[in-house]
Amino acid sequence: MCGFVGYVNEQKVIGNKEKNEINNMLNLIHHRGPDDTGFFKDDHIVFGFKRLSIIDVENGNQPISYENERYWMVFNGEIYNYQELRKTLGNIGYTFQTSSDSETILALFSHKKEEAFSDLRGMFAILIWDKQEQTMYGARDPFGIKPLYYTNGESEHELYFASEKKSLVALENNKSLNKEALHHYLTFQYVPEPLTMTTDTFKIEPGHYFIKKKGEGLIQTKYWEPIFKPSQGNLETSSKQIAQTLEESVNCHMISDVPLGAFLSGGIDSTCIVTLAKKINPAIKTFTVGFEQEGYHELNPVKQTVEALEVENSYYQVSVTEFIEELPKIIWHLDDPVADPAAIPLYFLAREAAKHVKVVLSGEGADELFGGYRIYKEPLSLRPLSTLPDSGKRMMNFILNRVPQKVKGRNYIERGLTPIEKRYIGNAKTFSEADKFKLLSQYQSDYNYEKITTPFYEQIQHLDDITKMQYIDLQTWLRGDILVKADRMTMAHSLELRVPFLDKEVFKVAANLHPTIKVDKSQTKIALRSAMKHIVPAHIVNRAKLGFPVPIRHWLQNELYDWAKNLIMDSQTDYLFKKEEILHLLEQHRKINLAESSIFKSKGDYSRPLWTVLTFMLWHQVFIEKVYEFGTTMEHSK
């Protein structure tokens, strides 16, 4: 796990000035690799590298070269099948000077060029310079676990690449706000890829590689696609396949030359990982986080799990004071605003884990692969309406248009008559287009959310609605929210996070599951729970998902009310928002009775839209207004 910066200028010979610029950009991501720094400079490219030593600690330094220094590479991530690949390559004559997975990648690339990326099993962002052909290659892993950004320089002949966007934002020519990204952020609560909140800065998308030849533009090619092929299947057979494949994946993900632990919550996903990891390493350490507010921690089920599995556990409780003190720094680490409050406890969890281990396993991806979100039950409850013939739907719409908005059951009928392509845009939907029209000073209808979702739906018209929802979440929510906060919050503390569920072999099994063994009206992740029922502690098998709940809705009424109001007033975002609308939401939220509401929702609860705007405003202060200054010392100016 590491961080890198790359620069190519195909017309100008690069000198010390450019190398110094790369060094300054690299220092901004020192947290990604505090163990070692490396550089490679050719006439037209510079690579800068920060290393977090995990495998072959002594010899795995980068940039690394191969084939008499024809190929040079920087690489962030881990390749879990590198030993098998190394053996195959050795059998056909390739030799190695180190025991690192990075040298294996380069040898494979020397053998197969860009086709090599399809053979890699793991998480990765890669840059490779072919010195002989004067060509840059790069790739990002299938699920988008590792980030890879790029932007043009002052001329069309320059390109910059980086592991984190903050390195590119440091360039003087690259600081303007992307208005389209803001529109989409307000819908999704994150910026959908390949966009970023900064104009002309983009992400290489998951499952893509690129080639940059001299005199030509950057050409991206998709090498992997998450294709679902649900079959009738059998629960018992599928359960066995899941159990075997997941155990093998956890085993692969535990390859490490440094101490390794695991995150543990009260849900089945992390408990699966910890249970399987303990079989390999009985002394594995586990880490848990929560809040003092009742209902916002999972301490009791975690204690039961720890006792049942006999594993060591460290629990950290986050206070509202340190929450708000660290928030600007958290936003800085995220690069772009991500209005998922779960990023904050993850930051503190990673900080505590990093005191004990250098690598952690986590359960991200299980919900998207195996059908874990409660919203995936919706197609089942809506089936009496969604399966009506067209004539029946027209009749119901005729009746619906004459039913007042506040009548109980109207929303159910409306959703049942709405095609899923219009109804479901991913796991989070914050502001509607009508809401954005009221909120934004300059709303632009061209930036409608369907611009993001329609291309994905066009690929999956043949699938059932539950599987369509999984696919949409894989392509949007997982890579735009879940994996962004997972990578940034752990790397903020120089901690490597690995996700055994997001493995190509695990996906092959999950992709074939029939919807009836994923979700029913009473349960989610049916097949996964069945696969793990004889392995994980009994109190976890059927426990409902809670995740990393954060008491934002309570705090915005009390402890964070003044902070929120001051941020709204002080933020220099009047050119973007109608602030009176935001202040009105804050006051309305303050009036609701949370004691009479559930932890998940209540009438008049505006905490999600408020947090989306507040997160953006804080991002604006950090990256646009420069109220805070963060760098390698991590000290702010306020």
What pLDDT digit, counting tens, does each position of 185-213 carry?
999 999 999 999 999 999 999 999 999 99
CA 100, 101, 105, 111 dihedral sign is positive
Give the confidence band of 547 by pLDDT, cuts at 50, 70, 90. low
Query: In the block, which residue shows the tokens 């890879």?
Result: 148
Check pLDDT > 60 for residue 596: no
Catalytic residue among 2, 45, 52, 170: 2
Interval 383-399 mean pLDDT: 87
Contact assessment for residue 140 and residue 206, using Cβ atoms and an 8 Å cutoff: yes
Q: What is the 3-state secondary structure (H, E, C) of 491-552?
A: HCCCCEEECCCCCHHHHHHHCCCCHHHCCCCCCCCHHHHHHHCCCCCHHHHCCCCCCCCCCH
The DSSP 8-state label assigned to residue 594 in this structure reads G
| Tokens encoding 323 | 């929450």
Q: Which residues pair with 285 in a beta bridge?
A: 261, 312
Q: What percent of the chain has pLDDT over 90?
A: 79
pLDDT at 633 (0 to 100): 39
User: Is residue 3 a known part of a binding site?
Assistant: no
What per-residue confidence (pLDDT) applies to 173? 66
Q: What is the pLDDT of residue 156?
A: 77
Residue 2 is a catalytic residue: yes
Q: How far apart are CA 424 and CA 416, in angstroms?
A: 12
> Between helices 579-591 and 607-620, what is the axis angle to 10°?
140
Planar angle of CA 90, 498, 117, nearest 5 degrees = 40
pLDDT band with cut points at 50, 70 and 90 for residue 603: low
Q: How far is CA 500 from the centre of its chain?
A: 14
Summarised one tens digit per residue, pLDDT across range 82-123 is 999 999 999 999 999 999 999 999 999 999 999 999 999 999
Q: How far is CA 475 from CA 121, 178, 182, 294, in A?
A: 19, 21, 19, 34
As a whole number of angstroms, the distance between CA 83 and CA 567 comes to: 52
Nearest to 123 by CA among 149, 103, 101, 108: 101
Place of tokens 């696969």: 531
- Which is more confidently placed, 582 or 392? 582
pLDDT bin (cut points 50, 70, 90) of residue 638 is very low
pLDDT band at 297 (very low <50, low <70, confident <90, very high): confident
Are 513 and 527 in contact by the 8 Å Cβ rule? The answer is yes
Q: How many CA atoms lie within 13 A of 454 on its CB side?
A: 5
Q: CA distances (Å), 524 to each of 347, 460, 513, 530, in order?
A: 28, 22, 13, 11
- 441 or 293: which leads in pLDDT: 441
Neighbour count for residue 254 (Cβ, 10 Å)? 19
Residue written as token pair 């899941």: 242
Distance in angstroms (rounded) separating the CA atoms of residues 427 and 376: 9
Rounded to whole angstroms, the Cα distance separating 492 from 334 reads 9
CA distances 117 to 5, 69, 112, 144, Å, are 20, 20, 9, 13
Q: What is the mean pLDDT of the chain?
A: 92
**In Å, how far are 95, 311, 343, 469, 545 from 289, measured between CA atoms?**
46, 16, 12, 29, 15
Q: Has residue 228 got a pLDDT over 70?
A: yes
pLDDT at residue number 600: 41
- The pLDDT of 8-15, averaged and rounded, is 88
pTM of the model: 0.94
The pLDDT value given to residue 57: 79
Tens of pLDDT, residue by residue over 121-161, are 999 999 999 999 999 999 999 999 999 999 988 777 899 99
Q: What is the mean pLDDT of residues 444-454?
A: 95
Structure tokens at 499: 């996700």
For the residues 227-255, what does the mean pLDDT come to?
94
How many angstroms separate the CA atoms of 419 and 441, rounded?
31
Alpha carbon of residue 522 to chain centroid: 28
* SS3 per-residue string spanning 241-283: HHHHHHHHHHHHHCCCCCCEEEECCCCHHHHHHHHHHHHHCCC
Beta-carbon-side half-sphere exposure of residue 184 (alpha carbons within 13 Å): 25
Residue 305 predicted with pLDDT over 90: yes
pLDDT at 282: 95
Q: Is the peptide bond before 194 cis (omega within 30 degrees of 0)?
A: yes
pLDDT of amino acid 575: 97
Peptide bond into 537 cis (omega under 30): no
Section 327-343 average pLDDT: 97
The full length of the chain comes to 638
For residues 321-337, average pLDDT: 96
38 is in an annotated binding site: no
Contact in structure between 262 and 287 (CB atoms under 8 Å): yes
Q: Say if residue 336 carries a ligand binding annotation.
A: no
Residue with tokens 């009836």, as numbered in its chain: 516
Identify the band that residue 412 occupies on the pLDDT scale cut at 50, 70 and 90.
confident
- Determine the pLDDT at residue 233: 75
How many helical (H) and strand (E) elements, i.e. helices and strands, does the chain have? 28, 17
Angle at 84 between CA 100 and CA 487, to 5 degrees: 55
pLDDT of residue 56: 74
Query: 362 labelled as ligand-binding?
Result: yes
